[in-house]
Amino acid sequence: MVEVADVTKRFGSTLALDDVTMSVDAGEVVGLLGPNGAGKTTLVRILATLLAPDAGSVVIAGHDVRREPQAVRRCIGLAGQAAAVDELLTGRENLDLVGRLYGLGRAEARRRTEEVLERFGLTDAADRRVRTYSGGMRRRLDLGATLVGRPAVVLLDEPTAGLDPRSRRELWEFVDQLAGDGATVLLTSQYLEELDRLARRVVVIDHGAVIAQGTPDELKHLIGGNAGSTLDDVFFALTSRDG
């Protein structure tokens, strides 16, 4: 569903991505792991057609991100590190607006809006302005907006950053539901236990390059870990190696 081949991206003299190659199968949850500044968000922005790679290719659901950006945008849902919602609109108005931007008819946009509000427990707050929402409610609304267009691929860039433990657990349940519904999910996170819990495979990126990838258990074995090893151990072992 997602094919990234030899992708390179520079910002001036800074090499943000260095020949990155990875893939995500249909219906798979893949985690992207790496320290701050490793290139995770740059890669997500390229997948979302917000940046163009300098070299290499990216294909999502059969569409090339450079040649067919509009087709790619119809296939994806994106939740960035900050909730992208309009505080002056109500929750219902935010979701309805997203539906209209997807080109849905008025009735269909309204129907999907109600489905999302119910799924994310926001029905009672649907007609309140978003500026009155808590941080967790805003995040749930933002995540809900990614589903209005029923995307085949969902990109989540540190979706639980700043959330309290309860809201984080709710988001984990949301990702489980996405996977159960057959969506393809690429998830970046600063919380290593999150990827251990959610991801079928993990891609480790450091200084713009992929340095390891595999299932959580395979990565733990790679560093000689035992049954008690965690992705924390993998993270620190791999990113502290020279070169």
Q: What is the 3-state secondary structure (H, E, C) of the chain?
A: CEEEEEEEEEECCEEEEEEEEEEECCCCEEEEECCCCCCHHHHHHHHCCCCCCCEEEEEECCEECCCCHHHHHHHEEEECCCCCCCCCCEHHHHHHHHHHHCCCCHHHHHHHHHHHHHHCCCHHHCCCEHHHCCHHHHHHHHHHHHHCCCCCEEEEECCCCCCCHHHHHHHHHHHHHHHHCCCEEEEECCCHHHHHHHCCEEEEEECCEEEEEECHHHHHHHCCCCCCCCHHHHHHHHHCCCC
Span 166-184, pLDDT tens digits: 778 877 888 888 888 888 9
Greater confidence (99 vs 240) lies with 99
- At residue 234, the pLDDT reads 67
Across 95-109, average pLDDT:
90
- With cut-offs at 50, 70 and 90, classify the pLDDT of residue 243: very low
Span of 67-81, 88-102, 117-131, 219-233 with lowest mean pLDDT? 219-233
Residue 52 has pLDDT above 60, yes or no: yes
Which of 207, 219, 147 minimizes the C-alpha distance to 181? Answer: 147
Contact call for residues 4 and 213 (beta carbons, < 8 A): no
- With cut-offs at 50, 70 and 90, classify the pLDDT of residue 218: confident
- At residue 226, the pLDDT reads 56
Greater confidence (162 vs 44) lies with 44
Across 35-54, average pLDDT:
93
CATH code matching the domain that covers 2-85+152-239, chosen among 3.40.50.1100, 3.40.50.10280, 3.40.50.300, 3.30.70.1560: 3.40.50.300
- At residue 153, the pLDDT reads 94
Q: What is the mean pLDDT of the chain?
A: 87
Residue 233 has pLDDT above 80, yes or no: no
In the sheet with 2-11, reading across from the earlier edge strand, the strands are: 14-24, 2-11, 55-60, 63-64
Span of 12-16, 72-76, 171-175 with lowest mean pLDDT? 171-175
Span of 89-103, 136-150, 196-210 with lowest mean pLDDT? 136-150
The predicted model scores a pTM of 0.84
Q: Tell me what percent of the residues of the chain surpass a pLDDT of 90.
A: 52
- At residue 108, the pLDDT reads 93
Residue 241 has pLDDT above 90, yes or no: no
- With cut-offs at 50, 70 and 90, classify the pLDDT of residue 113: very high
